[in-house]
Amino acid sequence: MTTATTEKSTAKVVSRAEWLAARKAFLAKEKEFTHLRDELSRQRRELPWVKVDKEYKFEGANGGVKLADLFDGRGQLALYHFMFGPGWEQGCPSCSFLADGFDTAALHMAQRDTTLAVVSRATFPEIAAFKKRMGWRFPWVSSFGSDFNHDYGVSFSKDELAEGKKPYNYGTMDFPAEEAPGASMFLRKDGEIFHTYSTYGRGLDILLPVYNWLDLTAKGRDEDGLPWPMAWVRHHDRYGDGKIVEIMKALG
pLDDT tens-digit profile of 29-84? Answer: 999 999 999 999 999 999 999 999 999 999 999 999 999 999 999 999 999 999 99
Q: Read off the pLDDT of residues 105-126 as tens digits, 9 standing for 90 and up.
A: 999 999 999 999 999 999 999 9
Q: Is residue 93 part of a domain?
A: yes
Q: Is residue 8 part of a domain?
A: no
The boundaries of the domain holding residue 169 are 50-206
How many helices (H) and strands (E) would you count in the chain?
Answer: 9, 12
Q: Is residue 230 part of a domain?
A: no
152 with 198: CB under 8 angstroms? yes
Q: Is residue 252 part of a domain?
A: no
> Which residues are CB-neighbours of 8 under 8 A, at least 6 positions away?
219, 220, 222, 224
- Count of C-beta atoms within a 10 Å radius of residue 122: 25
Q: Read off the pLDDT of residues 187-214 as tens digits, 9 standing for 90 and up.
A: 999 999 999 999 999 999 999 999 999 9
Residue 159 phi/psi, 5-degree rounding, is -65, -40
Q: Is residue 156 part of a domain?
A: yes
If one counts the domains in the chain, the total is 1
76 with 187: CB under 8 angstroms? yes
Q: Any idea what the CATH number is for the domain that residue 124 is in?
A: 3.40.30.10
